[in-house]
Amino acid sequence: MKLTGWLIYNGGMATEKFIDLHNWYVKTAKTLQIELKPIANNQLFSQIENGQFKLEPQLAKPDFILYLDKDIHLANQLERLGMPIFNSAQTIAVCDNKITMHQQLAGAGLPQPLTIFAPMLFAQIKKPKSTFLDHVEQSLSYPLIVKEAYGSFGEQVYLIHNRTELDAIATKLIHRPHLFQEYIQSSYGRDMRLHVVGGQVVASMERVSSHDFRANVTNGAKMFATEPNDRFIELAIAASQAVGADFSGVDLLFDQNNEPIICEVNSNAHIKTIYQATSIDVSQFIFKHILAKLKGHSI
Ligand X SMILES: Nc1ncnc2c1ncn2[C@@H]1O[C@H](COP(=O)(O)OP(=O)(O)O)[C@@H](O)[C@H]1O
Partner whose footprint covers residue 206, from Mg ion, ligand X, none (CB < 5 to 8 Å by kind): none
Please state the φ and ψ torsions of residue 143, each to the nearest 5 degrees: -75, 155
By CB under 6 A, name the one of 191, 194, 217, 267 that touches ligand X. 191
Q: Are 252 and 191 in contact (CB under 8 A)?
A: yes
What is d(CA 136, CA 133) in angstroms, rounded to the nearest whole number?
A: 5
Partner whose footprint covers residue 265, from ligand X, Mg ion, none (CB < 5 to 8 Å by kind): none
Q: Is 253 in the site for ligand X (CB under 6 A)?
A: yes
Q: What is the DSSP letter of 219?
A: G
Q: Is 147 in the site for ligand X (CB under 6 A)?
A: yes
Which among 35-43, 44-52, 148-156, 272-280 is the span making contact with ligand X, rule CB under 6 A? 148-156
By CB under 6 A, name the one of 28, 46, 77, 181 that touches ligand X. 181
Q: What is the DSSP letter of 217?
A: G
What is d(CA 96, CA 89) in angstroms, rounded to the nearest whole number?
A: 10
Choice between 207 and 289, CB closer to Mg ion: 207
Q: Is 264 in the site for ligand X (CB under 6 A)?
A: yes
Q: Is 38 in the site for ligand X (CB under 6 A)?
A: no
Residue 120 Cβ vs ligand X, minimum distance, rounded to whole Å: 20
Q: Which of 202, 158, 208 is nearest to 181 (CA)?
A: 158
Choice between 76 and 273, CB closer to ligand X: 273
By CB under 6 A, name the one of 94, 99, 157, 269 that touches ligand X. 157
By CB under 6 A, name the one of 151, 177, 220, 244 that touches ligand X. 151
Residue 110 Cβ vs ligand X, minimum distance, rounded to whole Å: 14
- Residue 126 belongs to what H/E stretch? none
What is d(CA 184, CA 221) in angstroms, rounded to the nearest whole number?
A: 17
- The terminus-to-terminus CA distance of the chain in angstroms comes to 10
Partner whose footprint covers residue 153, from ligand X, Mg ion, none (CB < 5 to 8 Å by kind): ligand X
Q: Are 54 and 13 in contact (CB under 8 A)?
A: no
Q: Which of 73, 88, 155 is nearest to 290 (CA)?
A: 88
Cα four-point dihedral sign 107, 109, 112, 117:
positive
Q: Is 145 in the site for ligand X (CB under 6 A)?
A: yes
**Using CB under 5 A, which residues numbered 233 to 292 contact Mg ion?**
251
Residues at the interface with ligand X (CB under 6 A): 113, 145, 147, 151-154, 156-157, 181-184, 187, 191, 213-216, 251, 253, 263-264
